[in-house]
A and B are shown apart, each in its own frame.
Chain A
Amino acid sequence: ELKVEQNPLFLSMQEGKNYTIYCNYSTTSDRLYWYRQDPGKSLESLFVLLSNGAVKQEGRLMASLDTKARLSTLHITAAVHDLSATYFCAGPPKETSGSRLTFGEGTQLTVNP
C-alpha cells in the first residue's frame, strides 16, 4: 500500500525567502503529482513528474523527483504572499490501475510580508 508523507506540515515564511517542501513515498510509483489548494477552494494541478530526475518549473515553484530515494521536492524561490496555500503531493498506488491517487497530508504554507 502506498503511503505518502510530507514535511513540514506547516510552514510560515517571509516574503523573499526560499524553502523546500519534501514528499516521501513508501513504494515504487511511476509518477508523482503536486496540487495546490486555496482555503475553501478546490485542488489545482501544479506539476506531474513522470520519471527519475524529472524537474518542472513554473514561476517561483520548482518540483523534482528522485524515484530511487522515493522523494519529491517542491522548492519555493523568493516567496510572495500569493503562494500562501496548502500544497499536496500525490501518487498512484502501483498495485492499482486507473486514476486513483494517494495524497500526502498537505503542507500549509503561509507567506508573511
Chain B
Amino acid sequence: KAGVTQTPRYLIKTRGQQVTLSCSPISGHRSVSWYQQTPGQGLQFLFEYFSETQRNKGNFPGRFSGRQFSNSRSEMNVSTLELGDSALYLCASGRDNGSPLHFGNGTRLTVT
C-alpha cells in the first residue's frame, strides 16, 4: 500500500518568490493536513482539508494557503516567501476516525 507522497522533496527559493507543494494521500484517506516543522518552533499545524473543504486552520499568515482536489490530493502554496519560511513541510493523511495520521517524507524548503 503506497504511503503519503510529497513532491518535491527539496526546494530552494529566494525571498519574494512563491512556491507550491504537493501531497498525495493514502488511498481512501479523505483528510489531509499540513504541518510546518522548524528547529525553533517545532511542529506547527497549518491547515486541514476534508472533502475539498478547509476544515481547520492554524495561526499562519494569509500567505499560506492550500486546497484539496476531488481525488483528495492536496497542494499548499506560500506566496511572497520570507527567510523564516525555511522549514520542513509535512503532509499527513487520515481516515478521520481518530486513527493515527500517516505522514509523508516532507518537502524541505530553503528560502535564501
User: Is residue B83 contacting chain A, with contact meaning CB distance below 8 A?
Assistant: no
On whether A31 and B98 interact (CB within 8 A), knowing A43-B103, A98-B56, the answer reads yes
The contact of B96 among A33, A41, A98, by CB within 8 Å, is A98
Shortest beta-carbon distance from B104 to chain A in Å: 6
Shortest beta-carbon distance from A49 to chain B in Å: 11
Stretch at the interface among B11-19, B43-51, B63-71, B72-80: B43-51
Classify the secondary structure of B's interface with A.
strand
The contact of A100 among B56, B98, B99, B105, by CB within 8 Å, is B56
Would B33 and A48 count as touching, CB distance under 8 A?
no
Would B104 and A102 count as touching, CB distance under 8 A?
no
Number of interface residues of A (CB under 8 A): 23
Write out, one digit per residue, whether chain A residues 90-113 have a CB within 8 A of any chain B CB (1) or not (0): 100000111111111110000000
Would A43 and B90 count as touching, CB distance under 8 A?
yes
Q: Once bound together, how far apart are the Cα atoms of A44 and B90, in whole Å?
A: 12
The contact of B99 among A48, A88, A104, by CB within 8 Å, is A48
Would B105 and A42 count as touching, CB distance under 8 A?
yes
User: Is residue A45 contacting chain B, with contact meaning CB distance below 8 A?
Assistant: yes
Pairs A–B under 8 Å by Cβ, sample size 13: A35-B100, A41-B105, A42-B106, A44-B103, A48-B98, A50-B98, A98-B31, A98-B55, A99-B94, A99-B96, A100-B58, A103-B43, A106-B43
